[in-house]
Structure 1
Amino acid sequence: MYSKVKIAGHPVHPMLVAFPVAFYTATLVCYITYSSNQDPFWFRVAVVANIAGVATAVLAALPGFIDWLFIPKDVGAKKTGLFHMICNVLALICFAIVAFTECGKWDEVKPVLGLAIPLTVIGFGLTLVAGFLGWTLVQKHHVGVDMEHQPGKV
């Protein structure tokens, strides 16, 4: 078990990643909805979800980075973890750019999206790849898995 940031023996990073994934998904869906119906309500929901996604991604990244630092250099999990981290950081950058550019349009009657949808699509795609790599860390490399308590053991 490589996870160093734990609560009651449970790794913190996997507990937190669901939040940015959910907020990133809501951001993309709400921007697409706004683009199709021009109702500013959906634009504002997208902006709020985007900011929440960026904030929770930063929060989830901290224990993830600490865990990655403690993975031994001579195991495959280190390289997989690096690619997982790079994809997540690039996704975070995409969503942060969108949050920064769209936040100022909050009070506009019909905000123009510009690059919001393409950047959120790219960020969402990177998040999917990062999720696949994260699951590889768990399934293949057993990162965050308590090897002392196997199924069938009490």
Structure 2
Amino acid sequence: MTSELDQAKRPVSAMLAGPYGHPFHPILVTVPIGAWVSGLVFDLAAQWVPDPGFLAKGSVWLIAIGVAGALAAAMIGFLDLFGIPTGTPAFRTGLVHMGLNLAVTAAYTANFFWRQADYGHVGLGPLLLSAASLVVLAVAGYLGGKLAFRYGVRVVDEAAQATGYQRFPPRHKEN
């Protein structure tokens, strides 16, 4: 394994970014993804119920939770980006991944403030912004998957992976 590839697999700071083989970034991204997908479900449901206020308010809260979670995930993801050697396809992919995610976070932040004007109602504009933001988030997620599964960023080397495929010796039954 080259030293650059090994560098991308090791955390810059194990305490902050997670130890070798256990990165924190993939764990943290579940918060904004779950919150924002749920927020869009609330937005859509608010279009069909007689009293949509509780769904509209819930969506605002989910957007706020997603933004907070995205900022935490971004800080840890930034540490992972530092481990990727510059001038490589993996680093360029990481920069695009980061840029798209920051744009989505900015869009959701704007969406949060846009909704403050009519707190109990989901207008078409905020709903479309949420939907478009999720499409961009999916593209960013695809690139994150490419970083991990194609380029092996923060993924243990094959020798460490092989330990998961060793067979246990057969058990002998005692009579």
- What TM-score results when the alignment is normalised by the length of structure 1? 0.89
Q: Tell me the CA shift for residue 115 of structure 1.
A: 1.5
CA 1:45–1:141 in 2, change beyond 3 Å: closer, same or farther? same
Structure 2 unaligned residues grouped into runs of 5+? 1-8, 167-175
CA 1:44–1:112 in 2, change beyond 3 Å: closer, same or farther? closer
What is the DSSP-based 3-state SS (H/G/I as helix, E as strand, rest coil) of the residue aligned with 1:142?
coil
Aligned counterpart in structure 2 of residue 51 of structure 1, from 60, 64, 67? 64
CA distance in 2, matches of 1:79, 1:89: 15
CA distance in 2, matches of 1:139, 1:89: 22
Do structure 1's residue 6 and structure 2's residue 10 form an aligned pair?
no
CA distance in 2, matches of 1:55, 1:150: 33
Aligned counterpart in structure 1 of residue 161 of structure 2, from 134, 150, 153? 150
Q: What CA deviation, in whole Å up to 9, does each residue of 1:85-115 have, x standing for no partner?
A: 1111111111111111113533x4xx25251
1:67-78 aligned within 5 A: 67-78=80-91
Counterpart contact for 1:20–1:54, Cα < 8 Å: yes
1:2-151 aligned within 5 A: 2-4=10-12, 5-9=16-20, 10-37=22-49, 38-106=51-119, 108=120, 111=121, 113-147=123-157, 148-151=159-162
Q: What CA deviation, in whole Å up to 9, does each residue of 1:39-95 have, x standing for no partner?
A: 211111101101100110011100101211231013211011111111111111111
CA distance in 1, matches of 2:30, 2:92: 23
Q: Tell me the CA shift for residue 3 of structure 1.
A: 3.4
Q: Tell me the CA shift for residue 35 of structure 1.
A: 1.9
Q: Tell me the CA shift for residue 8 of structure 1.
A: 4.0
**How many pairs align?**
151
- What TM-score results when the alignment is normalised by the length of structure 2? 0.79
What is the DSSP-based 3-state SS (H/G/I as helix, E as strand, rest coil) of the residue aligned with 1:30?
helix
CA distance in 1, matches of 2:103, 2:134: 10
What is the root-mean-square deviation in Å for CA atoms of aligned residues? 1.8
Q: Tell me the CA shift for residue 25 of structure 1.
A: 0.2
Structure 1 unaligned residues grouped into runs of 5+? none
